[in-house]
Structure 1
């Protein structure tokens, strides 16, 4: 059967031929089947008619998967198909190439348009042309012209065959009316041979012309003399062939492959009609009924098969509709970030997989469901695209903001006004962190520019901060010498230790990069204090005040605050320990004072109270500092 999308070659059928067949049918009163198998037979005959027309069309070449081909490879494949194959054999392959090409070129077009708009272009001004698309259009146009010419010629050929068959029918009618008894059988055989040699006719005329011809063939045989040996022999041979056809049809009804059985049955009907002549009147109705019964059995089996298939298709449809409903109900209103949308894309992709995994449907059933699926995914994609369009617009704005910060940083990178420039550069860095993403293609370049400007400035800043003046170098040298003299001092006293601490302060502040000398000095003082016969509390406080005073000298507020926080924490811990021990003493209220456990607990309480006094003294010292 010719594809309606290519050419409906029957639509221009000659009205004269139509009327001729119709009038012949009326004139001859051709009998119609009246049994319950009529509907089945009619359907089979329709299939036979369609297949008869297809005899002029060779099978199509197998279709391969073009989804991974590049645009260039698709065009090359299309060119080879057209140049190396008959046009009627490549329709499905051409359609597959068209689908793959349109999808890939559509993606390319969208990408080019996106880049055009990102560069500030107006959508209405966008235009994109490609040599590969031009070549593709040219090849497709050539294919369509060849296809149209082929089906136009095929239509002409089918109509010519119809005209020839109608002429055979007229010749047979004349032979019946006017034929010479001695030669008419030979003339009939010639007509029948010619009839079989004529190619197919339009499918809408196939059954009518065959019935008319078959009717007159039976008339011819019935008019032959009863003793005609040729007629009897033909009847006998035809009966044997038709009985054999019936056996084959009955065997087909037992086949498991119902589609193969149906196809073979159509061929048996064609042979019955086209290749085998009539039988004696006494057997005509009987063998036709047997053939019809066998036909109906296969048809009923096929009907049940497709009924089950339709039920299976309905299950698939319901599964697919459930997926579509889930996609339609999917909420993206709270998606405000790229990560949100990536999760949603993954979710929808899983639903898409469920849709395709549900199974395949025939085109007649899949199209409506497919359109609903496309509509649902289009709704999601539209929301996604709107978000990323907004993101791209926002990224362009972010790019402009970051470029402005880069220009400011580059203007400050060589500044000598350290206080003003440092504060400004720190603010630039803080503002940079608050700005969102920029288009990926600019991201690396602007980050390198920004980092280079910041690094350039702060490298200069730290270099000058670490630079030591003559005055600072003098302080360093004096403190180093003083530290060495302390190490050599013998039998230090409390007064010499206090004097050393005051001297170290009076020598001046060390540059930041030499503050480690303060640490060495503090360790030396601790060592000297350990060799003194002083009260433990006094030694502890001397060490503490020495360290704290160095913080004050450096105006290191952070360390002073941290020290005060640490002291308060220790006071809380010691108080809790004392309370716990005193609570424990309550359990020994009836015990004697010399009880070892009681004595041990009381000693610990006394030690903790001594520690508490020291920690409180440290806190008072810190609280009285002016910083």
Structure 2
């Protein structure tokens, strides 16, 4: 605590405090500062009367400094006058202000319901105003989109009507807020008038104290009771606050002057008030160092309220000096608050740059020439992404908010107009496409019960292919005609598959028998006798062929059988070419069973190609031998070449045998 004895003599602090007056017409916007990071209220009062004594009038620099200091004092006094009218108003500072501009319509409705249900109605006005503004803008954007869809589907603008359950839910919550607010103001007006009457009565009693002929101690006790009644009476109308308080304070000072008859009582009261005010100064100086600027300013308002309403005057020698110390701490806090506002302004300016960039991107898309449905769908997606970016960026400076929103809406509407014009032209083609698809539906429905599968199957496949090529039809008809077409095609192909399944019963039996035979082959072990083992293999191959063909979707079992034959032959000690020919013959049997001459042709072309390649390699090796003149035949290089020539000739012989086997099949 500051040392009372070190305070110099000074002139009346209370006179300075008294002269800080306020406009009775402070607008709704000029209330105490909202403590949030998304919006800055204009807190400068409409008018102020400066407290300037004769010395300040002769010193311009001192005048400017005090003018700035008194400005924030007036702002604090205005806020406290407002709080005096509405004691619940200060509660709004503790209500979180969310990023309403990033919320969906449903989230805004839910937040509105929560505020109306859980918070004091007089404390949420700024929140409700922000929510209401965002909801209106976003719902209008939704309405524009729905109207656009309606027109694109062929509707007339005059017939457009859209109702949203979210809108209904929002309106119910907003109406409940209006009802509660009206009820609050009705009760408030009644209470304010009664409280004003009670405080005026207290002032009249104060006036009479100095005329009462009674013991001074009894009078002083009566005076303290009146002070307590004043503090507990409750709020009064804002426009009566300053006059009532000034009158009350004036008569309190008169009473203290009256107490000169009993200086002990007065000095005791002065000492108590000085101690409390020094504590307030100490707390204000601590708040000046607080990093949370808005929290510090809110508490500073409360300190000013305590200084003015809860405490009386101090001895004249201390009045001005302690008031100047309090004002100095107040100015320091306010300077930090102004710097905070400047930072907020920078954020808003940055948001403005981002939103203008989004608008430029939309306008750039509008400038593109687009003549296809797919290209328009891509642009629609791009515009939707840009709209989401715009809504998620955050607030911009208030003075350009409406113009920025208007520019954004106009750019989106320009895009919608261009899109609508394209799709209106496209609708003509869509109705032509609709007629074409209806014709295909008639063909499909006329043939869905046909038993002439050879003729009808290609026809049904063709109309399915034609359907894909026709293009878009009006959205309202798309699902309906597709279901009809799909049902007719499915009916035909279900019948076709059922018939084929009946015909393929024999093939299914062959498949099941081949599965059993394949398991037997996998378990077969060589007996060590080459002739018997080869005979066993050929017996399995013949049995396999006798079982017949399997369904096309189960032909994979042929590959498994060939693999089992190859595995068995690999384990036999036989000539490599002999084993290869047995495997090849089995392969040809499988190809001939498939009735696919193309497979046989491919195999013949492949073998001929291999024969040509081997012959070419043999010729190349024989040509290479001519370079080895005067070289002995046992030379390692020469021996390697002769070895390669022999291997290639053996391979050539094998490929020729395979070609002969294929020719036998033709």
TM-score range, shorter chain: 0.5 to 0.7
**Cα pair distance change 1:611/1:240, threshold 3 Å:** closer
Match in the other structure for 2:374:
336
1:144 and 2:208 correspond: no
**Cα pair distance change 1:133/1:396, threshold 3 Å:** farther
**Cα pair distance change 1:462/1:402, threshold 3 Å:** farther
Query: Which of 478, 482, 493 pairs up with 1:455?
Result: 493
Match in the other structure for 2:69:
40
5 Å-filtered alignment, 1:215-614, equals: 218=253, 224=258, 228-230=260-262, 233-234=265-266, 236-255=268-287, 256=290, 258-280=293-315, 282-283=316-317, 286-304=318-336, 306-307=338-339, 310-311=342-343, 314=346, 318=350, 321-322=353-354, 325=357, 328-329=360-361, 336=374, 365=397, 404-415=439-450, 420-434=455-469, 445=483, 448-456=486-494, 458-459=496-497, 558-559=598-599, 561-563=601-603, 565-582=605-622, 584-585=624-625, 588-593=628-633, 595=635, 597-598=637-638, 601-602=641-642, 604-605=644-645, 608=648
Structure 2, unaligned runs of 5 or more = 1-23, 32-48, 57-61, 507-547, 563-576
Q: Counterparts of 1:378 and 1:138 in 2: how far apart (Å)? A: 31
Match in the other structure for 1:530:
none
**Cα pair distance change 1:32/1:77, threshold 3 Å:** farther
Aligned residues: 520
Match in the other structure for 2:79:
50
**Cα pair distance change 1:152/1:306, threshold 3 Å:** same
Once the two structures are superposed, residues 177-211 of structure 1 have per-residue CA deviations (whole angstroms, 9 ceiling, x without a partner) of xx859589969949877765664455466446544
Structure 1, unaligned runs of 5 or more = 9-24, 469-509, 524-535
Q: Counterparts of 2:651 and 2:615 in 1: how far apart (Å)? A: 10
Once the two structures are superposed, residues 488-547 of structure 1 have per-residue CA deviations (whole angstroms, 9 ceiling, x without a partner) of xxxxxxxxxxxxxxxxxxxxxx99999x9xx9xxx9xxxxxxxxxxxx9xxx9xx99xx8
Once the two structures are superposed, residues 51-102 of structure 1 have per-residue CA deviations (whole angstroms, 9 ceiling, x without a partner) of 233243423696799989989x969958x957x9864356578679868987
**Cα pair distance change 1:160/1:342, threshold 3 Å:** same
**Cα pair distance change 1:193/1:465, threshold 3 Å:** closer
Q: Counterparts of 1:194 and 1:399 in 2: how far apart (Å)? A: 85
**Cα pair distance change 1:401/1:234, threshold 3 Å:** farther
The answer on whether the counterparts of 2:297 and 2:334 sit within 8 Å (CA) in structure 1 is yes
Residue 137 of structure 1 and its aligned partner are, at CA, apart by: 4.2
Residue 577 of structure 1 and its aligned partner are, at CA, apart by: 1.9
Q: Counterparts of 1:293 and 1:165 in 2: how far apart (Å)? A: 31
The answer on whether the counterparts of 1:258 and 1:301 sit within 8 Å (CA) in structure 2 is yes
Once the two structures are superposed, residues 212-265 of structure 1 have per-residue CA deviations (whole angstroms, 9 ceiling, x without a partner) of 65456546755x5xx832467335513540343133212331243554443343
Residue 43 of structure 1 and its aligned partner are, at CA, apart by: 1.8
The answer on whether the counterparts of 1:245 and 1:268 sit within 8 Å (CA) in structure 2 is no
Q: Counterparts of 2:499 and 2:305 in 1: how far apart (Å)? A: 100
Match in the other structure for 2:38:
none
The answer on whether the counterparts of 1:158 and 1:200 sit within 8 Å (CA) in structure 2 is yes
The answer on whether the counterparts of 2:348 and 2:396 sit within 8 Å (CA) in structure 1 is no
**Cα pair distance change 1:246/1:41, threshold 3 Å:** farther
Secondary structure of 1:228's partner? helix
**Higher radius of gyration, 1 or 2:** 1
Q: Counterparts of 1:2 and 1:154 in 2: how far apart (Å)? A: 19
Once the two structures are superposed, residues 380-425 of structure 1 have per-residue CA deviations (whole angstroms, 9 ceiling, x without a partner) of 8996998899699799987776564343223223445555434322
Q: Counterparts of 2:308 and 2:185 in 1: how far apart (Å)? A: 27
Q: Counterparts of 1:433 and 1:96 in 2: how far apart (Å)? A: 50
**Cα pair distance change 1:402/1:571, threshold 3 Å:** farther
The answer on whether the counterparts of 1:196 and 1:275 sit within 8 Å (CA) in structure 2 is yes
Match in the other structure for 1:475:
none
Q: Counterparts of 2:138 and 2:52 in 1: how far apart (Å)? A: 58
Q: Counterparts of 1:242 and 1:364 in 2: how far apart (Å)? A: 46
**Cα pair distance change 1:163/1:582, threshold 3 Å:** farther
Q: Counterparts of 1:279 and 1:374 in 2: how far apart (Å)? A: 58
Q: Counterparts of 1:88 and 1:247 in 2: how far apart (Å)? A: 32
Q: Considering only aligned residues, what root-mean-square deviation do their CA atoms show, in Å?
A: 6.7
**Cα pair distance change 1:612/1:277, threshold 3 Å:** closer
